[in-house]
Amino acid sequence: MVKDENVLTNEGMRFFGRMSATATHEIKNTLAIINESAGLLKDLSIMAEKGSPLPPARINDISRMLTRQVKRADLILKKLNRFSHSVDLSTEVADLEKTVSFVLDLASPLIEKQETAVKITAPVSPMMVTTNLFYLENMIWRAVETACCAAKEKKQVIISFGTDLTAPSIWFSMDTGKNTLMDDLFGSKEDRALMTYLDISIEKNKKNNGFGFLWPKCI
Amino acid sequence: MSKQNAINEISGIQAYHKFNISKKNTFEMPSRVLLVDDEKEFVLTLSERLQMRDMATAVVYNGKSALDLIHNDAPEVMIIDLKMPGIDGMEVLKKVKQTQPEIKVIVLTGHGSEQDKQKCMDLGAFAYMQKPIDINRLSETLKKAHENITADE
């Protein structure tokens, strides 16, 4: 049991570190653009002192670029702040679709790097589970990463939800090409610890081109 | 628009361009610098500032375009980001050092891992620098790269 807890804690820290590193990397990029824009304004002012006319359209472009990057950095920080608060409660009621959307947004630079389009098909009604939000986000990310790696032909992953609101489920399907999904999918000790903690089981879909996470039926 | 410019626009490649305003001697700086970064606003602004400092620059937004470009039109120095979709900066560095080792590669990244830095230096990077960068520090590094090339010749 203690061993499982250690596996879970280590996996949680790895996930937190990876998402934080991704967000801070993005913030560094926005700062780099702000830095270059400020530097360009300085260059233009030095040139103006030497007699070159200031180009108003260029100044306007730079101003808009600065505003855009400040907004971008603010959005990244909001995401990071929301993510940091995922650890506040040990259990809470989570909306599965909203949680999946948030994880995709948080990890968007990592997903873009894989050049895979990830799309969500919304459930007919909100699908709620009582769970630990942070580890749910962690498990969803592991699933998205696995699905992106398995998407071979058409680099696309579709995330959908089951129809039985009393037995929540999330499904990930992709074009696996000639490859079929491995039997030991989510067989690592980290996956097993997460699934046990979150009380979810895994099933392959009927076409063998995807998998689902299933929660026990609530009576 | 010329045919070459039209091709460049389609492929996301900005041909080496120089519009210099500064009046200083240019022989101490690299004449052709290729910038590779998927952050378009960053790379275009940096390119504009380097052009103001007497360097001819070209810009591409991904690793594949960079490798395509250097095959036909090699720069003296490349400034590359590490994290890019498709072929990432590390892979570009590796391929450049295998095929055209004379090109000096400066890694300029927002990613701060010491392991990445070590890996890049082991692969033959000329320098590993962090974003945001001070333009004078970058210019100084570009100057050193150029001196290094001149010494090799």
Query: What's the Rg (C-alpha) of chain B?
Result: 14
Distance CA B88, CA B119 (A): 14
Q: Which of B145, B98, B86 is nearest to B123 (CA)?
A: B98
| Three-class HEC string of B57-120 | EEEECCHHHHHHHHHHCCCCEEEECCCCCCCCHHHHHHHHHHHCCCCEEEEEECCCCHHHHHHH
Nearest CA in chain A to B87: A113
Q: Is B137 on the interface with A (CB under 8 A)?
A: no
Using a CB-CB cut-off of 8 Å, the residues of chain B touching A113 are 83-85, 88
Distance CA B135, CA B28 (A): 16
Q: Are A19 and A81 in contact (CB under 8 A)?
A: no
Using a CB-CB cut-off of 8 Å, the residues of chain B touching A37 are 45
Query: What's the Rg (C-alpha) of chain A?
Result: 22
Q: Are B106 and B127 in contact (CB under 8 A)?
A: yes
Query: CB distance B135–A39 less than 8 Å?
Result: yes
Domain boundaries, given as residue ranges, for chain B: 10-152
Average pLDDT of the segment spanning B91-119 = 94
Give domain A89-214's CATH number out of 3.30.565.10, 3.40.1350.10, 3.50.50.60, 3.30.360.10. 3.30.565.10
Weakest-pLDDT range from A109-113, A130-134, B2-6: B2-6
Distance CA A115, CA B109 (A): 20
For residue A115, report the phi and psi dihedrals to the nearest 5 degrees: 55, 40
pLDDT digits (tens, 9 = 90+) for B12-44: 455 566 544 344 445 688 889 999 999 999 999
Which pLDDT score, from 0 to 100, does residue B16 have? 66
Q: Is A31 on the interface with B (CB under 8 A)?
A: yes
Which pLDDT score, from 0 to 100, does residue A85 have? 97
Q: Give the distance from residue B85's alpha carbon to the nearest chain A alpha carbon, in angstroms.
A: 4
Average pLDDT of the segment spanning A101-118 = 93
pLDDT digits (tens, 9 = 90+) for A37-87: 999 999 999 999 999 998 999 999 999 999 999 999 999 999 999 999 999
Distance CA B72, CA B13 (A): 13
Mean pLDDT rounded to a whole number for chain B? 85
Q: Is A63 on the interface with B (CB under 8 A)?
A: no
pTM above 0.80, yes or no: yes
Q: Which residue in A25, A28, A36 has the most chain B C-beta atoms within 10 A of its own C-beta, making it the best mutation to test that interface?
A: A36
Q: Which two tokens stand for residue A183?
A: 């039997």
Within 10 Å of residue A131's Cβ, how many Cβ atoms?
Answer: 22
Q: Which two tokens stand for residue A84?
A: 């940091």
Q: Give the distance from residue A92's alpha carbon to the nearest chain B alpha carbon, in angstroms.
A: 34
Q: Is A26 on the interface with B (CB under 8 A)?
A: yes
Which pLDDT score, from 0 to 100, does residue B25 have? 44
The partner residue sitting opposite B131, judged by closest CB among A28, A37, A39, is: A28
Give domain B10-152's CATH number out of 3.20.20.70, 3.30.450.40, 3.40.50.620, 3.40.50.2300. 3.40.50.2300
Distance CA B34, CA B105 (A): 9
Strand ranges across the sheet with A169-174: A117-120, A156-161, A169-174, A210-214, A201-204
Q: Which two tokens stand for residue A105?
A: 């947004």
Share of chain A above pLDDT 90, in %: 79
Q: Which residue in A28, A29, A42 has the most chain B C-beta atoms within 10 A of its own C-beta, making it the best mutation to test that interface?
A: A29
Query: CB distance A115–B49 less than 8 Å?
Result: no
